[in-house]
Amino acid sequence: MPTDGRPLVALGEVRTCLLPDSAALSRGAAVDLLDVVLGRPGLSRERPLDWAESPRLAVGIDCQLVPHVRSRGVGTIATNALIIGGRVLQSSAHAIVAAPAASSGQRRTWSHYLGRVGTVELLTGASDTISDRLVVGFLSTVRAAGPVLDLTAVSTRLLTKVHSDVRLDQQPPLLVEPTQLRWAARVVPGAQASVLFGLHQDRIRTALVTIGSVDDLPEVRRYCQDLAVHDWLLTAVIDVIEDAEFAQTSGSTPESVLAPALQHLAHLWMPSAHTPAPLRCLWEQLEKDPGFSRQWHARIGQLRDRVAVATLAALHRTPAQMRQW
């Protein structure tokens, strides 16, 4: 039986999309855009890639954590927004689920929970199997009805707030859909860190992270944010290549669809750049299977070849342009 107050699992969700602006934001402009809490500046850094993060916001909850499991949780979800490379926008919501701090398991005053932002106490007790049941229930891609923890609603609210800011011109250089990564992390003492990554319908992804030390549990969210960015980049490039097949039917040219992806996305591929050092080994697993970077470089090569072929074809179709060239 877990000790009172001991972390059990971490649950989170990351939504990733293209920032709706015609130009990439500078680091300073990104920080200003993410100034969502007056008087509390966010974090930012310039290398190896521009990165800005808003201050944390707390969202109070009192609900079942997963369906079909006796799992009433009370506490706060931590949520924040990020901008990577001045181009990619993320909203992240997460919490560490802990055994109740009080042995009675009774709900305490909100001041207690507000002092522990990003922690949810499991008031229904912590059995030997509760961690696995929470993970399985949360990672299910079937949306449950009723008052069950809904991190999608929490992360979407912040994403919409930043996405609709009047300082953005709402004219992105390419049209790509957002993705949603639902993740859970569990602690198996002494185990080697590992991740199980899955693709599902409706652009939903899941990640089950296993770590060997409870000390690394708070750091899993940064790894999952990094994972979500790179999964979105790979998905976006694949979508652009597929869209180019139908460009002419919509009155566009293949090169006009393909070129913006090269210009605005190709340089953002930096796996593990924002992953905490103890968890970078998780990227080694994804590089072996399914081979994230191998897929990326193959797709970028395909994209460049398609742009070159489409450009040559366009020149051959227009003798006047060929003479100017």
pLDDT digits (tens, 9 = 90+) for 67-115: 888 889 999 999 999 999 999 999 999 999 998 765 556 888 889 899 9
d(CA 116, CA 3): 18
**Poorest-pLDDT segment among 5-9, 31-35, 171-175:** 5-9
pLDDT given at position 38 = 60
Residue bearing the bigger pLDDT, 27 or 317 = 27
In angstroms, how far is CA 230 from the centroid of its own chain?
9
Exposure on the CB side of residue 158, measured as CA atoms within 13 A: 33
Q: What is the mean pLDDT of residues 6-15?
A: 95
Q: Is the pLDDT reported for residue 244 higher than 90?
A: no
Q: Is the pLDDT reported for residue 134 higher than 80?
A: yes
Two structure tokens written together for 289: 């299977």
pLDDT mean across residues, the chain: 88
270 pLDDT tier (thresholds 50, 70, 90): very high
Residue bearing the bigger pLDDT, 305 or 9 = 9
Q: Is the pLDDT reported for residue 125 higher than 80?
A: no
CA angle 185, 190, 195 (to 5 degrees): 35
CA-closest candidate to residue 134, choices 182, 205, 86, 184? 184
Element (H, E) at 115: none
CA-closest candidate to residue 185, choices 5, 1, 3, 14? 14
Among positive and negative, which fits the CA dihedral 257, 259, 263, 268? Answer: positive
Measured from the Cβ of residue 241, the count of other Cβ atoms closer than 10 Å reads 18
325 pLDDT tier (thresholds 50, 70, 90): very low
Q: What confidence tens digit (pLDDT) does each residue in 153-211 have?
A: 999 999 999 999 999 999 999 989 999 999 999 999 989 999 999 999 889 999 999 99
Greatest C-alpha distance within the chain: 84
Measured from the Cβ of residue 236, the count of other Cβ atoms closer than 10 Å reads 25
d(CA 5, CA 254): 57
pLDDT given at position 4 = 57
Classify residue 148 by its DSSP letter. Answer: B
324 pLDDT tier (thresholds 50, 70, 90): very low
Is the Cβ–Cβ distance between 76 and 157 less than 8 Å? no
Measured from the Cβ of residue 31, the count of other Cβ atoms closer than 10 Å reads 19
Residue bearing the bigger pLDDT, 251 or 227 = 227
Residue with tokens 């979508």: 239
pLDDT given at position 234 = 96
41 pLDDT tier (thresholds 50, 70, 90): confident
Is the Cβ–Cβ distance between 135 and 184 less than 8 Å? yes
Question: What pairing do the DSSP bridges indicate for beta strands 119-122 and 88-98?
Answer: parallel
d(CA 89, CA 98): 30
Q: What is the pTM of this model?
A: 0.90
